[in-house]
Structure 1
Amino acid sequence: MPGGETADRDYVRHPGSVAVAAVDDAGRVLLLRQYRHPVQRLLWELPAGIRDVPGEPLVDCAARELAEEAGYRAATWHTLVDLYTSPGMSDERIRVFLARDLERIPDEENTYVRHHEEIDMPVEWVPLDEAVEKALAGMIHNSPAIAGILAAYAASSDDYKGLRAASAPEA
C-alpha cells in the first residue's frame, strides 16, 4: 500500500464462469428467472454456469449451460464481453458469449436432469430492445445479464460484425 502500509483483504477465489446471450432470428434474447438466496429474490438472468470441467474450452462450457438450463443449442458463437463480476470481493471472471442460429433440443436428446433451483426456472424470450429497457429501468440486476444484453444490443446495430471469435483468448 502507499507509504509501505500493509492491508488485510478477504476475498473469494472462484474458478470462473460463462454466460450466454442467446438471440434468436426474431431479435429476442433468452432470459431465465432464477431464485438467488443471497438476495432472496428471483432475478432475470442469462443461462450461465461455473467453469467446473477442467480443461473444457469456454465455448463448450457455454454450450453445455445453454443446453442444460434452457434446452437450446446454437450453430453460431461469438465472444461478447469479459468481466469481473465483483472485483472488490472475488476474482470471478466471466465470459459472456453471443449464441445465434438457435435450435430447441428435443426432450429425448437432452439428457441433463435439472437440480435445485433449476427445476423451477422458466425460459422466456424477450425482445432485445425490451431487455435493454428492463436493464436500464432497474428491473434486471444480474451483472452478467446486464452486460450481455447491452453488448448484444450494441453488436446488433452492426449486424453482429466485428465480434471476437468464440475461441478468443482471455486477456
Structure 2
Amino acid sequence: MLATERLNHWLSRVGADAGQAPCLDEKGVCAFVFEDEVEVLISVDDQSPFLYFFAELLSLDEQNESAKAKIFEHCLKLNLCPSLTAGAAIAFDPIHHRVVFNETIALEDLDEHRFFSRFTAIGTKTVALWRTFNGRSDQAVRDDGDASTPDRMPEMGPVLPFEGFV
C-alpha cells in the first residue's frame, strides 16, 4: 500500500470520530483545526519514507530583536523537556519568519494505533504551545488531558511548511 493510501485510510478513521471526511490533497497534505484555534498539518509523500506533523505557533514579523531573543530562548528551554513537546520539536522557520512545531516520523514505525496516538498527542501539545506563545496560557491544555478530535476542517488550504527549503 502506498504511503498516501495508508495515511488516507488512517485519516478516514480519525474523521469518522469527528463526523468529517478528511483526506490528503494532491500535494499529500491534510490540515486539521484543533480547539477552533490551531491548524495542524499532516503531510506524506509516496517517494519519502516519512510522515510530517507541522503547525505554526507564532509569527515573528512584528517582533523586535529583543523579543525574538526571548522567544528563541523559551523555545530552546521547551525543547529540553519532551513532556512539554510530546517529543516533537519547536523550531524557527527562517523563510516565513515564524516559530513552528513539528515532528518527522518514519512510516515504518507507524501503525494505525501509533498514528492516532501521535496525532492526538501533537494536537494536544500544539494547542497548549500555541496558547502559551500567544499569551493565552491561562487556557492551555492540561498535561494529563487527552486531545480531542479536531473540531473542524480548515476553511482555506495551508501554506506548505516545506516550500522554500528545497
Q: TM-score with structure 2 length normalisation?
A: 0.27
Considering Cα pairs closer than 8 Å and 6+ residues apart, tell me whether 1 or 2 has the greater RCO.
1
Where is the helix percentage greater, Structure 1 or Structure 2? 2
Structure of larger gyration radius: 1
